[in-house]
A and B are shown apart, each in its own frame.
Chain A
Amino acid sequence: MVEPLLLFDALLGLAIVALAVAVLTVHDRFAMIVLFIVFGLMSALAWVRLSAPDVALAEAAIGTGLTGALLLTTLHHIRAAPAAPVPVPGGVVVANLGLCALIFGGLAFAFLLTPLQAPGLAPAVAQNMAASGVGHPVTAVLLNFRAYDTLMEVVVLLAAIVAVWMVERGTVQAPAPVLGEIYRGFSRLALPAIVVIGSYLLWVGAQAPGGAFQGGAVLAAVGLLLLLGRLYRPQPAHRPFARAGFVLGTAVFAGVALLVAGGGRLPFEYPAAHAKTLILLIEGMVTISIAVTLAALFHGREPEAVPVSEKSE
């Protein structure tokens, strides 16, 4: 008899592939977005089945809280300002196909070359856990053993918001949408709860699944709800605070990395006695940065004194 859990896994895997195909082939753009949201739900479940609750948490927070909202806004944007589709030159198509084939080939090559029963780096991580300053292997890897990569990931977000602010400017003068009494009551309950859970995820990251990215993504959802309900309107005068929020994580992360260097230590080599404090400091600041940056990415423009009409929004 087939193990039911194995059957579940197989079905889940097939569903993910089928959803990916459906997202790319369906004609209605709204259906495309909804299918992509479901794709996110299914991949979160897949990460769970792969025993990677950290990734599942990130996927849950970003997939349910942010991606859907971002895509819906984009669709609204496209519909409000319909542009004639520009024909794609054949050369671009060929180049893209070539790149895709290269990436696919590379991945297939790497996959086929991987030994089936490799020990991986898990034993090395387990051996050095005591020196990491935290109790959760994933956090130890992200913030200590490969902190350099993580710093680069934070920089990617910073680069994204810099690009968005360069492309689009203006403030929104539209009146607040009428969502009704019931929604107002709900947001009074939900917003503080989301803040608490986001902070909890950051804190628990030291011992269990959770951490800066997950906490930051959950907190960003608060920003989204505030922006959507027009409870907060970005103003030109708020730009310095936003900018400070964007660079805070990168600056503190890089600053700590450089400050611990010297006296025979390399950058990122936290002194063992203070490792936990330093990691928590970095994670806290990175969380704030991620939350502010993701919310600003959703808002999608630098709040400059040029009023934009709702049409072009």
Chain B
Amino acid sequence: MITALSIILIVLLVSILGGLIRVLRGPEPAERMLAAQLFGTASVAMLLILSRVMAMPALLDVALVFALLAAVTLVCFVVLAAKGGR
């Protein structure tokens, strides 16, 4: 069970690292932001799986904080972009 979950964790991590190519290439800031959003959700999934693998329910609180605050950076980006300068 643990082994299988660990392999899934590796798959998720590799998928995040692959997505970094989009961050590097861009070209739109909105796309870079979107990629960060996807990584945030994938990290929540990884934390959920880790809470089982490591038998540490406290990790659910970490995931909860991620889930709640995920929007803050993106809202900041949209507000600043609407203000101009870009």
List residues of chain A with CB under 8 Å of any chain B CB.
3-5, 7-8, 11-12, 15, 19, 22, 26, 28, 30-31, 34-35, 37-38, 41, 44-45, 48-49, 51, 53, 56-57, 60-61, 64-66, 68-69, 72-73, 76, 79-80, 174, 177-179, 183, 186, 190, 193-194, 197, 201, 204, 208-210, 214, 218, 221, 224-225, 228-229, 310
Contacts and interface: CB of A to CB of B under 8 A. Distances in A.
A190 B71 contact: yes
Nearest to A66: B72
18 contacts: A4-B6, A11-B10, A11-B17, A15-B17, A38-B39, A41-B43, A44-B62, A57-B65, A60-B66, A64-B70, A178-B82, A190-B71, A204-B61, A218-B65, A221-B68, A221-B69, A228-B76, A228-B79
Given A178-B82, A197-B65, A183 B70 contact: no
Given A37-B36, A57-B61, A76-B83, A31 B23 contact: yes
B6 A64 contact: no
A68 B76 contact: yes
B84 A310 contact: yes
A48 B72 contact: no
Question: SS class of chain A's interface: helix, strand, loop or mixed?
Answer: helix
Given A38-B20, A60-B65, A64-B65, A31 B75 contact: no
B61 A201 contact: yes
Given A64-B72, A72-B80, A73-B76, A34 B33 contact: yes
B75 A225 contact: yes
Contact of B29 (A22, A30, A177): A30
Given A30-B29, A41-B39, A194-B68, A209 B58 contact: yes
B10 A7 contact: yes
B65 A61 contact: yes
Contacts of B62: 44, 48, 53, 56-57, 60, 209
Contacts of B61: 53, 57, 201, 204, 208-210
Question: SS class of chain B's interface: helix, strand, loop or mixed?
Answer: helix
B20 to A, nearest CB: 7
A187 to B, nearest CB: 9
B58 A30 contact: no
A80 B16 CA distance: 32
A78 B25 CA distance: 22
Given A48-B50, A178-B82, A30 B32 contact: yes
